[in-house]
Amino acid sequence: MKLAYWMYAGPAHIGTLRVASSFKNVHAIMHAPLGDDYFNVMRSMLERERDFTPVTASIVDRHVLARGSQEKVVENIARKDKEERPDLIVLTPTCTSSILQEDLQNFVNRASTDSYSDVILADVNHYRVNELQAADRTLEQIVRYYLEKEQAERFTFVSEPLSKIPSVNIIGMFTLGFHNQHDCRELKRLFQDLGIQVNEVIPEGGCVEHLRNLPKAWFNFVPYREVGLMTAMYLEREYGMPYVATTPMGVVATAECIREMQACINLFAPAINETLVNYEPYIDYQTRFVSQAAWFSRSIDCQNLTGKRAVVFGDTTHAAAMTKILAREMGVQVVCAGTYCKHDADWFKEQVHGYCDEVLVTDDHTEVGDMIARVEPAAIFGTQMERHIGKRLDIPCGVISAPVHIQNFPLGYRPFLGYEGTNQIADLVYNSFTLGMEDHLLEIFGGHDTKEVITKSLSTDSDLAWDVDSQLELNKIPGFVRGKIKRNTEKYARQKQVDKITVEIMYAAKEALSA
Amino acid sequence: MLSSPTSETLTFECETGNYHTFCPISCVAWLYQKIEDSFFLVVGTKTCGYFLQNALGVMIFAEPRYAMAELEEGDISAQLNDYQELKRLCLQIKKDRNPSVIVWIGTCTTEIIKMDLEGMAPRLEAEIQIPIVVARANGLDYAFTQGEDTVLAAMAHRCPVHYAAENEQGEHGQALEGLLSALPTTEHTHSTLLNTQAPLVLFGSLPSTVASQLSLELKRQSIQVSGWLPAQRYTELPSVGEGVYVCGINPFLSRTATTLMRRRKCKLIGAPFPIGPDGTRAWVEKICSVFGIEPQGLEEREAQVWASLKDYLDIVRGKSVFFMGDNLLEVSLARFLIRCGMLVYEIGIPYMDKRYQAAELALLQKTCQDMNVPLPRIVEKPDNYSQVQRMRELQPDLAITGMAHANPLEARGISTKWSVEFTFAQIHGFTNARDILELVTRPLRRNNSLESLGWAGLVKNKTDQSYT
């Protein structure tokens, strides 16, 4: 048992549901007790999703405990099959069903014999993997299922011919992902600039029937380390497809990523269209003139950031990229870089080696909080949790990674990847630091306004007495509205020509004034 | 509006139970704030923790007095000793927060692995010297607000004993007072009441302001409220026992009511719930009738409140509502909205205790007759999918629904109000009637301001594809 208030990565089934509901026309059925379908609320609220989330629960209740859930699960699958005609139904186990140890695979087999949809059981162990690992696995599972099905239908292993012009699959765009929609748009733009065709984007907006086209692409691109690597490795193993897994976040990393793509393309280019590609001029032009970040790091603004101390914490992709941007592109001193992805700690340590003073790998937010309190950075780049730690310690924080709140699902265009992403990040960094500086200066010079506000009440000569009870009642009211309520009550009392305010008067005032 | 009321008696239907609601462990969110010296320990998995973290949002960051005892693989496979593990965590909580009570919330997982929380609690309580209350608020058995019911039912066992004997008050009473003064009870002597009325304990968690508003409402009828379950602090739990009258203020407290009646020998006053001015009046009247008091000035008070609601009533009159059902407040709210002149198509509700809600159901029926509208259908354990189909037919002006369906329905041109807000807003008593209508009319007022823009349906159909 572990005492916990907050967790960075969610439970496994959330990962599976994120994959399933990112695809078009895929329905997930959770084997779960009442109330576990909280995922639907998150998707509907955070993503402001217009469509009903394609996730339903096959409810585990007392009856199920007594008799097993076999009939119920099979019925629910059959029913959903009729109602919505999905291409695929993913039966999703939860922590509860893991303990029940029912043979869910058997239910899936039974249900799939007479359903129009394909039915699979998500292969995740709730107690061994977290949200991100589960998403990675489920995505690979679905891709493998459809490719194997395709091969089986053709009776022999046939390799798809590659497309005429260089093409790519983007693997790992998700619902509820941190700025994923904006990143996806930015990446598509990047590929268009480079003359690379986007073959398939999975899972977001993808269609399972199109998965068979995956091998047509020249290479795969995995923008985020947490989810998609397993799929890319599977495709490399089975179809010999190379993949690029360098996240194009920051000017240097974006260039690196583009050079890796160039290598992938030049692997096949001579054979297919007899030309080699050279992206160096593109990288040079973008770096110097499209992205403002390279110029920014030269400018006087950024000079002032030199040697400022920062802390970075987040998922491996964003925390590693951010650490490198701060250290090598802006001259900021990263005193501590950390991640909550404990399963991928080695990769993270290797990435940030040489770019930070210390590394912290933990999923305990109190440890992160203690570290921040100890090193007292000038700014924090982390998740929502770090933002709140920053609030408490009065240190500005830029949010760079999930878990996030609704304000990290902006309506405006805010990619973190690609050349536009570098501009966004420069703004984020600069705003975090200058705001901190501004506050500091204000404090030194004694605040904006040196004149003290004497009173905020309408009348300064209050002739009204508040009895003890009403005063206690007044104190129960949250501070930010207390003044208003006090004023309104006194106004009411004056109208009624009462000179002693009691609790009754307070309530009467509320009733009268809200009317 | 429909002129001929159809059926004379209420009909209850029961569907599949495939509906969205909050997990009952969410009750810790408001109960830890209500009971100031408590600490809530939810014994469950990451799934429970993730739900709390997301549902309670910013509260997490305010050093809340609740935490997860997160079960790991070793706990599930019984490689670790539950008792030792819980002891370790509870000692840590004692050291860090020193609460007056620790409430263990049992979850689905503790049910399935049959962790004997009730058996361990008394032993551990004796060992660490902090009361431990066990409530099984799990999703296998309960929905959302019923979580509070399980906690309060467990607390009812901890209330100090009330000694009924009025005539022995002289010597015995004083001796008792001497004895009890060492104990953390506050109002064990209710003998100084206004008119030697029997003690009345109200049950249900309310913000303290609303609780004092309701107490005051009864005081106007010279009825003294001798205590609330729960009180502001665990150490102030009211005394209950034979001769004590109890009355519920929320429709989801049937287990608490049963416990108070059967185990603590209290007398339950079955009244409609004080939601809306009509409900509040009926509630006060019922309590008065039990104590043999002629209510004073209630009618005028109700009329006055209705008059002050006029602007909102003009908005809602004639509009139709559909309750998808998730928090058990549905019947009371529907009854109030019908009185406001609305037409209720369907009352979805997770669970219907016809005995505990009898008075409320009777008032609903009467209200429908008075307003000359057909009785709504009451659907227990609703099926959200079928409900959405029905809504497509009926096109209600307002759907009161959970967050999972709110945005998709709005995109399809059906106005929605998020049902959970009714759980957190102040909706009880005469004073707060306006707040209910404030919530109900908000989508309708928003519609008025956006009316001329012509963007009601915002879901893509085939003709829109070409522009993407």
Residue A3 lies in a domain: no
Pair B444, B354 in one domain: yes
Pair A317, A438 in one domain: yes
Domain C-terminal end among B100, B118, B142: B142
Residue B148 lies in a domain: no
Which chain B residues touch A45 with a CB distance below 8 Å? 403, 407
Pair B87, B204 in one domain: no
Note whether B306 and B322 are within 8 A (CB). no
Residue A379 lies in a domain: yes
Pair B287, B319 in one domain: no
Lowest mean pLDDT among B78-82, B286-290, B389-393: B78-82
Residue B464 lies in a domain: no
By C-alpha distance, the chain B residue nearest A369 is B61
DSSP string covering A193-238 = HTT-EEEEEEETT-BGGGGGGGGGSSEEE---SSSSHHHHHHHHHH
CA distance to partner chain A, nearest, from residue B20 (Å): 7
By C-alpha distance, the chain B residue nearest A63 is B140
Pair B340, B418 in one domain: yes
- Candidates A103, A301, A357, A394; catalytic one: A301
User: Is residue A279 predicted with pLDDT exceeding 80?
Assistant: yes
Tell me what pLDDT residue B341 has: 96
Pair A280, A348 in one domain: no
Which residues of A sit in the known binding site for substrate? 436-437
Pair A349, A327 in one domain: yes
Give, to the nearest 10 degrees, the angle between helix A316-324 and helix A251-272.
Answer: 110
A156 — pLDDT class (breaks 50, 70, 90): low
User: Is residue A421 predicted with pLDDT exceeding 50?
Assistant: yes
First to last CA, chain B: 42
Residue type, B88: R
Tell me, what's the ipTM? 0.87
Pair A280, A388 in one domain: no
Pair B210, B265 in one domain: yes
Residue A174 lies in a domain: yes
Note whether A20 and A92 are within 8 A (CB). yes
Pair B52, B117 in one domain: yes
Total domains present in chain B? 3
Q: What is the CATH number of the domain that holds B224?
A: 3.40.50.1980
Pair A88, A181 in one domain: no
| Structural domain for B97, as ranges | 24-142
Contacts of A413 (CB under 8 A, 6+ apart): A182, A185, A420
Active-site residue flag, A284: no
Task: Verify whether the Cβ–Cβ distance A51 to B408 is below 8 Å.
Answer: yes
How many Å apart are CA A223 and CA A257, to the nearest integer?
Answer: 10
Pair A118, A184 in one domain: no
Residue A384 lies in a domain: yes
Pair B433, B306 in one domain: yes
Tell me what pLDDT residue B457 has: 73
Residue B367 lies in a domain: yes
Lowest mean pLDDT among A274-288, A471-485, B270-284: A471-485
Which of B47, B60, B407 has its CB closest to that of A49? B407
How many Å apart are CA B372 and CA B374, to the nearest integer?
Answer: 7
Domain C-terminal end among B125, B142, B159: B142
Residue B266 annotated as lining a ligand binding site: no
- Higher-confidence residue: B429 or A470? B429
Pair A318, A438 in one domain: yes
| Structural domain for A235, as ranges | 167-290
Residue A153 lies in a domain: no
- Higher-confidence residue: A405 or B419? B419
- Nearest residue to B88 (alpha-carbon basis) of B127, B60, B138: B127
Tell me what pLDDT residue B150 has: 97
Residue A451 lies in a domain: no
Total domains present in chain A? 4
Tell me what pLDDT residue A138 has: 96
Which residues of A sit in the known binding site for [4Fe-4S] cluster? 36
Residue B166 lies in a domain: no
Residue B147 lies in a domain: no
Note whether B76 and B49 are within 8 A (CB). no
User: Is residue B182 predicted with pLDDT exceeding 50?
Assistant: no
Pair B104, B206 in one domain: no
Pair B306, B243 in one domain: no
Pair A486, A428 in one domain: no
Pair B275, B387 in one domain: no
**A215-237 tens-digit pLDDT:** 999 999 999 999 999 999 999 99
User: Is residue B190 predicted with pLDDT exceeding 80?
Assistant: no
Pair A327, A427 in one domain: yes
3-state DSSP assignment of residue A4: strand
Residue B23 annotated as lining a ligand binding site: yes
**B340-378 tens-digit pLDDT:** 999 999 999 999 999 999 999 999 999 999 999 999 999
Residue B108 annotated as lining a ligand binding site: yes
Note whether B41 and A5 are within 8 A (CB). no
pTM of the model: 0.87
How many Å apart are CA A365 and CA B68, to the nearest integer?
Answer: 14
pLDDT averaged over chain A? 89
Which chain A residues touch B68 with a CB distance below 8 Å? 2-5
What the block records as the tokens of A78 is 């059959």
Pair B260, B362 in one domain: no
User: Is residue B201 predicted with pLDDT exceeding 80?
Assistant: yes
Which chain B residues touch A61 with a CB distance below 8 Å? 17, 140-141
